[in-house]
Amino acid sequence: MFKAELIEKAARWRSAGDDAGRDLQSCPALVLNADYTPLSYYPLSLWPWQTAIKAVFLDRVVIVESYERQVHSPNLDMKIPSVIALKQYVKPNEFPAFTRFNLFLRDRFACQYCGNGKDLTFDHVIPRRLGGRTTWENIATACAPCNLKKGGRTPKQAHMQLSCDPIRPTSWQLQQQGKSFPPHYLHETWRDWLYWDIELEA
Ligand SMILES: [Zn+2]
């Protein structure tokens, strides 16, 4: 059978069960790189089951583990993959994108002045009016009260101490940070592929 036809089929697949689609939506596949480490930790690399099955038919991934649940087509029954691995290694970018989310992640979702985790905002360490730029090296996570207190001053002028100097993290460093924030839900078949201490966290 032609691949395109198989893919078309995958799109039309239905679960045998009653309220088909809905339940199936909660069967995402954990995506591993070709070295069997997660493609991404934070957010965890997960694909909807339809995408996972398409990738199987496109011969881009291997199935590592499966759910008990099956999907059915006229010609084929198939267990839904729960863990898949890319056949071709994807080299991670050395540096992550400069986004608000990644910046919070670098700072572990805590104010860099007082450690508070609520009402988080971004602080220009060297204020903009003094020429401070919006870069990894000049933006720190700050809670709203600290941001207000600091105002348009440098930390020194405001007598406020950063817990660590802002740096541009590598993707690897950011991923390491992400491991401290595991997702709320982890399917049992994913655990072998994630963190050593997952049993402790679960
Ligand atoms: Zn604060």
Per-residue pLDDT reduced to its tens digit, 132-165? 999 999 999 999 999 999 999 999 999 999 999 9
CA-based R_g, the chain, Å? 22
Does 192 share its domain with 150?
no
Residue 188 has pLDDT above 90, yes or no: no
pLDDT at 109: 93
CA of 124 to the centre of ligand 1 (A): 14
Distances (CA, A) of 74 to 12, 16, 21, 71: 10, 11, 17, 10
CA of 161 to the centre of ligand 1 (A): 10
Domain holding 108: CATH number? Answer: 1.10.30.50
Residue 25 has pLDDT above 80, yes or no: no
Contacts of 125 (CB under 8 A, 6+ apart): 132, 138, 139, 140, 154, 155, 162, 166
CA of 25 to the centre of ligand 1 (A): 39
CA of 178 to the centre of ligand 1 (A): 21
pLDDT at 12: 52
Model pTM above 0.85 = no
Q: Which residue has the higher pLDDT, 60 or 39?
A: 60
Does 164 share its domain with 179?
no
Does 154 share its domain with 87?
no
Does 147 share its domain with 184?
no
Instruction: Cite the beta strand spans of the chain per DSSP E.
Output: 14-15, 29-32, 46-47, 61-72, 77-86, 120-124, 139-143
pLDDT at 146: 98
Does 27 share its domain with 86?
yes
pLDDT digits (tens, 9 = 90+) for 112-126: 999 999 999 999 999
Contacts of 108 (CB under 8 A, 6+ apart): 177, 180
Q: What type of residue sits at position 84?
A: I
Q: How far apart are CA 138 and CA 35, in angstroms?
A: 35
Does 116 share its domain with 163?
yes
**What's the domain range around 82?**
3-92+175-201
Does 14 share its domain with 77?
yes
CA of 158 to the centre of ligand 1 (A): 13
Does 36 share its domain with 88?
yes
Q: Provide the domain count of the chain.
A: 2
Does 164 share its domain with 182?
no
Residue 1 has pLDDT above 50, yes or no: no
Q: Say if residues 166 and 138 touch (Cβ distance below 8 Å).
A: yes
Q: Say if residues 87 and 34 touch (Cβ distance below 8 Å).
A: yes
pLDDT at 118: 95
- Provide mean pLDDT across the span 70-96: 91
Which of 23-32, 63-72, 122-131 comes out lowest in average pLDDT? 23-32
Does 67 share its domain with 17?
yes
Does 63 share its domain with 106?
no
Does 19 share its domain with 69?
yes
Q: Say if residues 57 and 47 touch (Cβ distance below 8 Å).
A: no
CA of 119 to the centre of ligand 1 (A): 9
For a pLDDT cut of 70, what percent of the chain falls above it? 84
Strand order across the beta sheet in which 14-15 lies: 14-15, 61-72, 77-86, 29-32, 46-47
Residue 2 has pLDDT above 80, yes or no: no
